[in-house]
Amino acid sequence: FFVFLFFLSLSFSFFSFFLPPSSSFTFSLFFLLLSSCLLFLLQESIAKEVNENPGAGWKAAINPRFSNSTVGQFKRLLGVKQTPRNELSSIPVVTHPKSLNLPKEFDARTAWPQCSTIGRILDQGHCGSCWAFGAVESLSDRFCIHFGVDVPLSVNDLLACCGFLCGSGCDGGYPISAWKYFAHHGVVTEECDPYFDQIGCSHPGC
C-alpha cells in the first residue's frame, strides 16, 4: 500500500512538469497533500508496530507538532557539530577515584530549588540551535548554583554574536566554542536579548 502511494505521488510529480502553470500548481498542491498523508500513515504504522511489540519497553505515539516532519527536517534540529580532534586535546580531564560514593538518586531541581533555570524545558523552534541552548542553559544553572543568582542567560546573544567561531548558528555549532566565547566575551541575559527561532537569528541588542 505504501509503495503504491509512493509511486503514485512520483507519477503526479512527473506529469506536473508537462502541464500549464495553473494545472501544475494544482498538481503540486495535491502532491504535497498526498506526501503529507503518506508520511502520517507511515509514522502511524511505525507507532503501531512498536506498541504491538511486548518487548519494546516503551509506548510510541505521534507528536502533533512533528507529525508531518521528514527525517531530514528532524535532523536539521540536531545542531551539535562534532568537536574537532585538535580542540579535544586542549580540554583538561578531571578524574575521580572509583571508591567515590555516589547517591543512588539525585535530582538537581530539589538540590538547588532556588534555581528556576534547572529543569526548565525550552523550545528551539525550527532552528538547529540545540548546541547553543545546551551551553547557555548549563551556564545559567552553574551561575545560579555558584553565585545564588537566578537569571536565565541569552541563547540568542550566543547565536548572533559568536558567529562562524561557534559554527553555523541555526544550522549547527560547537558547544566547546560556545564555552570559549563565554570565557572571553560573556553573555547577556535572556530579558536583554530574547530568543528568535527564525533563520538568521535577529539580534535587537540591549
DSSP of 52-89, one letter per residue?
A: T-TTS-S-----GGGTT--HHHHHHH--BPPPPHHHHT
Q: How far is CA 20 from CA 23, 28, 137, in A?
A: 5, 12, 52
Beta-carbon-side half-sphere exposure of residue 70 (alpha carbons within 13 Å): 7
H or E element, residue 92: none
Residues of the chain under the 50 pLDDT cut? 1, 198-201, 206
Per-residue pLDDT tens for 67-101? 777 778 878 888 899 888 888 887 888 888 888 78
Q: What is the pLDDT of residue 91?
A: 82
Strand partners, 189: 153
Q: Could you tell me if 117 and 188 are in contact, meaning their C-beta atoms sit under 8 angstroms apart? A: no
The total number of residues written for the chain in this structure: 206
Domains in the chain: ranges and CATH: 2-69 (no CATH), 76-85+110-206 (3.90.70.10)
pLDDT recorded at residue 199: 43
